Amino acid sequence: RMILGLTYSEFDNKIGPQLRFAYPCDILSKDIFESYSEYVIMSKPLCDKVITVFHKDMKFMNYSVAIENPKYHRNTLTFAFGLILHRESETEYYENALRKISYSFVHLETETEILFSNESKQQIPDILKILFEDLNSKMESFTYLDKN
């Protein structure tokens, strides 16, 4: 397997960057996440860029996005999807996949509030699992999402 794991993180306005979901769920310990969390959710000037951090034999790639809308606390929803790879993995393909995943969720959030609604957000672990399995086996993924 090329991808070791996938993550979804959000910026919590009270406590900072938070790892909300990961697949596999034990791929990233709380301590490891906290040690590199400042590189997960980036400030607006560094959003929409792939940020890569190395830890031992792993490579963490994250892509932060900030959606501005008055309905969000402080008028912004900031989130990041991430990939965990072997340190030696080539990243070009994965950078493109990470961008596509993030852009897809920008559109989903705009249309359905999948990230704003706590109920809808509960689909993310299943989506991460599908992405993990598909990207590792077929190097592509097409996922059907229930509108609820």
Residue 146's pLDDT band (boundaries 50, 70, 90)? low
* Interval 72-96: pLDDT, tens: 988 999 999 999 999 999 888 899 9
Taking the C-alpha atoms of residue 138 and residue 41, their distance in angstroms, rounded to an integer, is 29
Residue 1's pLDDT band (boundaries 50, 70, 90)? low
Q: What rounded mean pLDDT belongs to the chain?
A: 90
Q: Distances from the Cα of 56 to the Cαs of 61, 70, 85, 108, in angstroms?
A: 14, 41, 11, 34
At 45 the pLDDT is 82
* Interval 28-38: pLDDT, tens: 988 999 999 88
Cβ atoms 115, 10 nearer than 8 A: yes
Cβ atoms 61, 50 nearer than 8 A: yes
* Interval 15-68: pLDDT, tens: 999 999 999 999 998 899 999 988 898 888 889 999 999 999 999 999 999 999
At 59 the pLDDT is 94
- What is the arithmetic mean of pLDDT over 91-107? 92
pLDDT > 80? residue 145: no
Cβ atoms 9, 36 nearer than 8 A: no
Enter the DSSP assignment of 74. Answer: G
pLDDT > 60? residue 130: yes
At 138 the pLDDT is 78
Contacts 24+ apart (CB under 8 A), 59-63: 59/84, 59/85, 59/86, 59/87, 59/89, 59/91, 60/36, 60/84, 61/85, 61/91, 61/94, 61/95, 61/98, 62/7, 62/9, 62/98, 63/98, 63/99, 63/101, 63/102
At 6 the pLDDT is 97
At 43 the pLDDT is 82
Nearest of 16, 82, 89, 9 to residue 49 by alpha carbon: 82
Cβ atoms 41, 79 nearer than 8 A: yes
